[in-house]
Amino acid sequence: MATDLNLVAVFIAVADAKSFRRAADRLGVTRSAVSQAIRRMEDQLGVAVVQRTTRSVSLTEAGLRLHERVAPAVAEVEQAINGARDRDAQPTGQLRLAVSSIAERFIRGPLLAEFTQANPGVQVDVSVTDEEFDIVAEGYDAGVRLGEVIEQDMIAVPVSGDQRQLVVAAPSYLQRFGTPSHPRELPQHCCIGWRPAPHVAPYRWEFAEDGREFDVAVEPRITTNDMWVMVRTACAGGGLTFGMEETFRPYIERGELVPVLEDYCPFFRGFFLYFPDRRNLPPKLRALIDHVRYRSGGKS
């Protein structure tokens, strides 16, 4: 005998509401229709699932066992249906993103511009920050960070390929002070360093040699939390600086900056769009994920 899922839905409504009247109101039917549905279900099963009195409604032992088995399954079906409905919905609302200041490919312009053009109902709010925090607790929909610093319980979608950091300087600086041949020589040079926030020590510059990783404390003479201050100062001949190759690439191609010590600068995992593991993603976030995947697969 085929199972009438409408009867199952009525049974769950009665079990949750513990009342035929409240179940009828929730389902938008009459109390009599609810009572008849429960009676048909009990006739099909050959066992009572609801115990009725003049004052209350409760489940029998068989009803409790049935509810325990079918309620989660029905909830799964409802979630799947809602997910399918949302997938076809037009993305709308504010999409809050916390993005690393060095995620050049994500924040340089084209990716976000094309996304907003394709999704006019979405307002994108980007906070450029290098602080590490719980994006869920802070009310963000997603974040963009290097893969190595993303929590293990997050879902991560690649935004870029492998990355590396380079040491660069203006030709004028190298002509005056020479080119270092090994990272250990960097403390002898004028270096422009980066720190994520006030009262935080400047980042140590990281390298590798013969498969062994090491870092150098360069004791920068100029320190900033703004990469563009770093870049402009380096282009002006103010010293050597260290950062993402993608950030420096336009200046290198124009000859304003020259990479040095490249043999000591290994590649590592790049940037990822990350977000909590949710069964049903909101359409606005799903649209961004699809957009990032499309660009990563076919466009730079």
Show contacts of 35-39: CB within 8 Å, 24+ apart: 37/6, 37/7, 37/10, 37/11, 38/7, 38/10, 38/11, 38/14
Topology alike, domains 5-85 and 93-161+270-292 = no
CATH architecture of 93-161+270-292: 3-Layer(aba) Sandwich (3.40)
User: What is the fold of 5-85?
Assistant: Arc Repressor Mutant, subunit A (1.10.10)
Residue 89 has pLDDT above 70, yes or no: no
Q: What is the reported pTM?
A: 0.61
Q: How confident is the model at residue 76 (pLDDT cuts 50, 70, 90)?
A: confident
- Sorted by where each begins, the domain ranges of the chain are 5-85, 93-161+270-292, 163-268
User: What is the structure's pLDDT at 18?
Assistant: 85
CATH architecture of 163-268: 3-Layer(aba) Sandwich (3.40)
Residue 300 has pLDDT above 80, yes or no: no
Residue 248 has pLDDT above 70, yes or no: yes
